[in-house]
Amino acid sequence: MRVLSGIQPTGRFHWGNHFGAVRQYIDLQGDPDGAFYFIANLHALTTVRDANLLRQYTLDAAIDLLALGLDPDRATLFVQSDVPEVSELCWLLLTGTPMGLLERCHAYKDKKSRGLGSDAGLFNYPVLMAADILIYDSDLVPVGEDQMQHIEVCRDLAASFNHHFGETFVMPKAKILDHSARVPGVDGEKMSKSYGNTLDVFEAPATLRKQIMRIKTDSRPMEEPKEPEGDHLFQLYSLFATDLQRDEMAALYRRGGFGYGEVKKKLAEAAVEHFAPARERRTELESRPEQVRQVLGDGASHARKKAAEVLRRAQEACGVKPRG
């Protein structure tokens, strides 16, 4: 079984990236041929228009993933654009993609409904994502619920191609990421760069503590009991706490007689301690960028072998290459 996932290099990883996806991706790694993880720099071109920034974000994403526990001996890590076969397969899929299917996709519809500009890259994003998945014979694709539609599009395109040209593609299945890992931002909304409410994984401890102390809370008096469920500060603390610590904090909420500043201090302590080993690994990796690039190069070489096999299969099936 091959697991495949990609992450866009659009900025530094925040807690939502880590707990909502990256941690679960890393839990699924087993061996290099069974887990493919790529940095989706082609997808990022729909939002990042600065070449130097995109290059830096791409390297930073690789360093972050390695620091957080992705092991090149247990997974294949590479940059999307280092496997040009994916773009070739994308064209083969585009030739059979109904316009109406893409017009119904959420990201495109959302921008259009808000009167925002959209380009062909955003419109065709689901087809490139389908090529990413199909070109490695992926069996399992971990995604959030908001990405489920893209997996359905991928399966539709694969089924259509298989119908017209014979069995060519493996039909992938989605693995919905743990919904309990939803991470609130400092304002209580879903943590997202687009909302400007993030807490970065590799933020300096002193800066992180200041950011946590500024988290918005309600104005209920200290003595008033409070229900912990649904409270975003409690949710953030729960990301790091043991079951016993979480129960103790919940009891404190329900008892009342405490200030939110007390919770913030405990959250800051727990977060700094939790990410300390990863911060140390990141500092070491940052000083050795050539080693990181070597990991990416080795990963791309391994990924291209599989991609070339699947692309050739698709080219022969649809007639753009003679059968070998």
Residue 189 contacts residue 197 (beta carbons within 8 Å): yes
Strand spans (E) along the chain: 3-7, 35-39, 76-79, 140-143, 173-176
Residue 3 contacts residue 142 (beta carbons within 8 Å): yes
- Tell me the Ramachandran region of residue 256: left when phi exceeds 0, alpha when psi lies from -120 to 50, beta otherwise: left
Residue 263's nearest CA partner among 285, 240, 284, 282 is 240
What value, to the nearest 5°, has the Cα angle with vertex 160 and ends 112 and 105? Answer: 15
Q: Is 111 a catalytic residue?
A: yes
* Per-residue pLDDT, 153: 97
End-to-end CA distance of the chain: 27
* Per-residue pLDDT, 145: 82
Which residue in the list 112, 175, 193, 265 is annotated as catalytic? 193
Sign of CA dihedral 167, 105, 62, 240: negative
Q: For the domain 3-182+288-318, what is the CATH code? A: 3.40.50.620
Which residue in the list 112, 175, 190, 265 is annotated as catalytic? 190
Q: What's the rounded Cα separation, in Å, for the pair 250 and 240?
A: 14
- Which stretches in the chain have pLDDT values below 50? none
Q: Token match 């395109």: residue?
A: 157
CATH class of the domain defined by 202-283: mainly alpha
* Per-residue pLDDT, 193: 85
Sequence ranges of the chain with CATH classification 1.10.240.10: 202-283
Q: Token match 């016993």: residue?
A: 244
Residue 80's nearest CA partner among 131, 145, 18 is 131
Residue 58's nearest CA partner among 69, 68, 45 is 45
Q: Is 112 a catalytic residue?
A: no
The torsion angle over the Cα atoms of residues 207, 208, 212 and 213, rounded to 10 degrees, is -30
Q: Is 193 a catalytic residue?
A: yes
Sequence ranges of the chain with CATH classification 3.40.50.620: 3-182+288-318
Which residue in the list 111, 112, 175, 265 is annotated as catalytic? 111
Is the whole model's pTM more than 0.95, yes or no? no
Q: How many CA atoms lie within 13 A of 277 on its CB side?
A: 4
Task: Read off the amino acid at residue 12.
Answer: R
* Per-residue pLDDT, 107: 78
* Per-residue pLDDT, 113: 78
